[in-house]
Amino acid sequence: MRFLSGEFGSTSAGYGGGSANSIKGVGLAGENVNKSDLVQITPDGKSYLVRNADNAAVANKTGTIIPETTVKATHSNTYDRSPVIKLDDTGDILTLTSYSTGTSGSGLVIYKYDSGGNLIDFNEVDKSTSGAVLRNPKIRKLSNGNLLITWSISLIELRFMIMDPYTLDIIKSDTQIGTITSNDRYDVTDLENGGFMICYLSSDGDQQLAVYDNVGDVVLAPEAKQIWAGAAGVVSTQLQKLSDGNVAVVCLSKFVSTKGLYIGIYNQIGAQVLAMTNIETTDGGLHSVETSSLNGYFAVAYRYVTSDLKTYVFNNAGALQNTHIRTYTHGIYQMSFKILADQSNFYLFLAEGNQSAIYVAMLDVAGVLVSERKVTIAYTVEGIYSDAFLHRDCIVFAYREALQPKKCMYTVVETDTLLVKTQPTEFGSLPTSSGEKMAIIPCDDFSFAAAYENVSPSATNLISVKYEDTAIQGVAETSAAKGAVFVVGQGAGAQRINAISGTSPVAFDMTETNIKGNAGTLTKNSVVLGGFK
């Protein structure tokens, strides 16, 4: 365990173990802590609440929190990512899936689980009795806390609704945005000032942009921003929020006469900052593009040619900083790469097709390669099913193992060294025939939630996994605001945490009794205090 300052001695395993001066130090409150809250100290030296009361006694060790759960047995969003989000204030996890039973009907359903994996509620967002297939579902959290849900009907109509995240009641009913084609790969983003922006390939063959407010009223009616020409092809769109509040629109077009990568920048009401501009005329044969941003810059990565991944770094005005090209021996699968960012650098993550390796590259804001590492693993990666996120000082990369029996795996890499922190670990199963693209998101206490779809047998699955050990320390004696300095100490069998401005910490002796807080209970027989990082 790392603290900002302090003294460190030896630690020993077992509840309440350790010498009288095993650990002494100070850290920062990672979020607001109230008196009597059950509090943990994570490896970054910050304090966070323990939200999952049912698992409070054992959640400090790695392992499965929510077992693999079948959300829906029949689905229709083939080769779409399964949307999954977490509510920060409750820790609840929501996932959205479509289903189809042929001409007897199809629908789109949102499911809500608590942090222990118990189904709280669900709501059928849309239902069709005509056999129309509901595709490309997405969830976004609006600035007022409500949920935006978007989807298409038989790849013809693009629609949205707004929902209360707690009750799942519909606030804005099913509303059509526009008409699309089967070539559309739209994207949508929430806006810092409220509302949302959506960009899509319309049935007229142009790229349209629309803006709505938080209640679903039109701010900017669908407006053409780019006219595509030539024989029709897929257009993949990514909307990337920038640090100045504007939005970068990135399109990868396969229209024959307007092929390649385009970028434009628009403000939050859809007014042009930078007109759509053709950056590259090569499409690489696939329709996958990934984006990320940090303070003042954004990056765009896409498959340039069959074996090359090309990454551009721009400033917020759209001025190109640099281009990085990485050639891969075994080619690049669609959706096998991610571009991530922390406060200082971009991180390119990629899995080569059917190889026992993944690659991580660090680029600075000038677009210059800082370091690159090939991570050899003991499994064969089927990269098309991969996803990744960056959380504090780690990149968590999830993927499908290619050989039989197929399974879901994850690996953790440190951002500063690009060294493997956690070797490949199995966390879920997949059928032998095929499986859908996976989506993973960070959750509380160094865990992640993953949603993925099976083709045969068809099912939408949800799972939650803790990928790093943490130490749950005890109960807060006084309140501490986020960013406040706190004292951490371990006496002989005692766990304590207290704001420095408060009185002396009260010792909670785990050798004698359990400790309780408003957020849960720690029992003396199930907490291991050794192995601090």
Q: What is the DSSP string of 263-309?
A: EEEE-TTS-EEEEEEEEES--TTS--EEEEEETTEEEEEEEEETTEE
d(C-alpha 47, C-alpha 34), whole Å:
12
Smallest CA-to-CA distance from 239 within 260, 258, 225, 219 is with 225
pLDDT (0 to 100) of residue 7: 23
Q: What are phi and psi of 22, to 5 degrees?
A: -55, -50
Instruction: Tell me the C-alpha distance between 498 and 487, whole Å.
Output: 5
Considering the chain, what is the average pLDDT of its residues? 77
Q: Token match 């392992």: residue?
A: 63
d(CA 36, CA 28): 18
- Residues in the chain, pLDDT under 50: 1-24, 53-60, 103, 432, 490-512, 524-533
- Which pLDDT value is given to residue 80? 65
Amino acid in the structure at residue 277? T
pTM beyond 0.85: the answer is no
Q: pLDDT of 274-332, one tens digit each?
A: 999 999 998 766 668 899 999 999 999 988 877 788 999 999 999 999 999 887 766 56
Backbone angles phi, psi at 55, to 5 degrees: -110, 15
pLDDT digits (tens, 9 = 90+) for 431-450: 545 555 788 998 876 788 88
For residue range 324-338, list pLDDT tens digits in order. Answer: 988 776 656 655 788
Q: Residue 38, SS3?
A: strand
pLDDT at 531: 24
Query: Which DSSP category does 468 fall into?
Result: S
**Per-residue pLDDT, 283:** 76
Report how far residue 181's alpha carbon sits from residue 205's, in angstroms, rounded to the nearest whole number: 9
In this prediction, residue 426 carries a pLDDT of: 83
Contact indicator for 377, 397 with CB cutoff of 8 Å: no
DSSP 467: -
**Beta strands at 196-201 and 260-266: parallel, antiparallel or unpaired:** unpaired
Question: What pLDDT score was predicted for residue 472?
Answer: 61
Q: Is 258 helix (H, G, I), strand (E, B) or coil?
A: helix
The Cβ of residue 212 has, within 10 Å, a number of other Cβ atoms equal to: 25
Asked whether 34 and 481 are in contact (CB, 8 A), the reply is no
Determine how many CB atoms are found less than 10 A away from the CB of residue 15.
19
Residues 6+ apart with CB under 8 A from 233: 183, 253, 254, 255, 256, 259
